[in-house]
Structure 1
Amino acid sequence: MDTPKSSKLEIIIPAFRGHSQNLMMVLDGISEEHALKRIEGRTNHIVWMVGNFLDMRYAMGTVLGLKEEFEFKDFFFQGKALDESLKYPTLQELKESFHKISPLVYKRLLETTDEELDKDFPMGMNIEFFPENVLNFIGMCIGREDYLSGQIGLMRRILNYEGMKYDFDENMKY
């Protein structure tokens, strides 16, 4: 396992890599048609969920100083609500974006110092027990990724796909 400069990220690093693996595994075999399907008009579709996952990756990158911009930001920025009138990017396009941003964010996570993590990062939450800093923002993003992977897993089953297989790709280093 890679060792981060900051011991504060010792839990985040394996979670980040695990989420990368989980996303690829949970999407395995999902068709483009099914990726846009909503259940009874009440759920977000898988494309929206993946786009929101990517919005988290790009947000982490931004807060860590990366300049990459999410090419599909207008669809997903800050959990923007699903809009059925829009033509969303394909699942394949989102996977390509995932493989572009994830190694860059991973590298920055490994390089980030305690000082960078301790910097104020106002989120407007105003919760006494939750310091609004870079570290806690990254933690929130990781939590959101976990939630979205679970939602996609549930959608897999609702759409009659097999449950996710845990076939980890040892060559994916992010």
Structure 2
Amino acid sequence: MDTPQSPKLEVIIPAYRMHTQSFLNILDGVTEEDAMKRIDGRTNHMIWMAGNFVNVRYAIAHVLDLQEEDPYQDLFYMGKTLDEHFSYPSLNELKSNFHTISPKVYERLLDVKDEQLAEVFQIDMNIPFVREDKLNFIGMCIGRQDYLAGQMALMRRLLNYPGMKYDVDENISY
């Protein structure tokens, strides 16, 4: 396993890599048609969830000073509400985007130093027990991806796909 420069990320790194595996396993075999389905018109569809998941990786890139921009930022930034009138990207486009940003963020997570993680990063949540710094923002992003993975895994089952597998592709190093 790769060792981060910051020991503060020793929990984040495995979670990030497991999210990579989970994201791909959740979407495995899901058709484009099914990925656009909503349950009783009340849930987000898997395209929206996957797009928000990828957008969170771009948010981590941003906080780590990577100059990368999500091509679908307008659709997913800050969990923007699903709008059925929008034209959303395909699962294949989102997976491609995911594979573009994810290794760059991973490498940056390995290189970031404690001093950078301690830098103030205003997220304006006004939660008295959460220091608004880069480390806590990254932690919140990991939590968001946990939530989205759970939602997508549930949608997978609701759409009559087998449960997500926990297979690990050792060729994916991010």
TM-score using structure 1 length? 0.99
Secondary structure at the counterpart of residue 164 of structure 1: coil
Q: Residue by residue, what CA displacement relative to the aligned partner does 1:68-107 show, whole Å, maximum 9, x if unpaired?
A: 1000111101110000001100000000000000000000
Residue in structure 1 matched with residue 46 of structure 2 by the alignment: 46
Residue in structure 1 matched with residue 97 of structure 2 by the alignment: 97
Secondary structure at the counterpart of residue 94 of structure 2: helix
| Greater Cα offset, 148-157 or 121-130 | 121-130
Identity %: 60
Q: Size of the alignment, in residue pairs?
A: 174
Alpha-carbon RMSD:
0.5
Distance in 2 between residues matched to 1:2 and 1:141, nearest whole Å: 20
Residue in structure 2 matched with residue 128 of structure 1 by the alignment: 128
Q: Residue by residue, what CA displacement relative to the aligned partner does 1:131-168 show, whole Å, maximum 9, x if unpaired?
A: 00000000000000010000000001000000011221
Secondary structure at the counterpart of residue 148 of structure 1: helix
| Structure 2 residue runs without a partner (length 5+) | none
What displacement does 1:125 show?
Answer: 1.4
Residue in structure 1 matched with residue 56 of structure 2 by the alignment: 56
Distance in 2 between residues matched to 1:78 and 1:128, nearest whole Å: 21
Distance in 2 between residues matched to 1:138 and 1:167, nearest whole Å: 25
Residue in structure 1 matched with residue 118 of structure 2 by the alignment: 118
Residue in structure 1 matched with residue 2 of structure 2 by the alignment: 2
Residue in structure 2 matched with residue 73 of structure 1 by the alignment: 73
| Structure 1 residue runs without a partner (length 5+) | none
What displacement does 1:55 show?
Answer: 1.0
Distance in 2 between residues matched to 1:86 and 1:127, nearest whole Å: 33
What letter matches 1:139 in structure 2?
G
Residue in structure 2 matched with residue 160 of structure 1 by the alignment: 160
What displacement does 1:173 show?
Answer: 0.2
Is the aligned partner of 1:22 residue 2:43?
no
What displacement does 1:128 show?
Answer: 1.7
What letter matches 2:81 in structure 1?
A
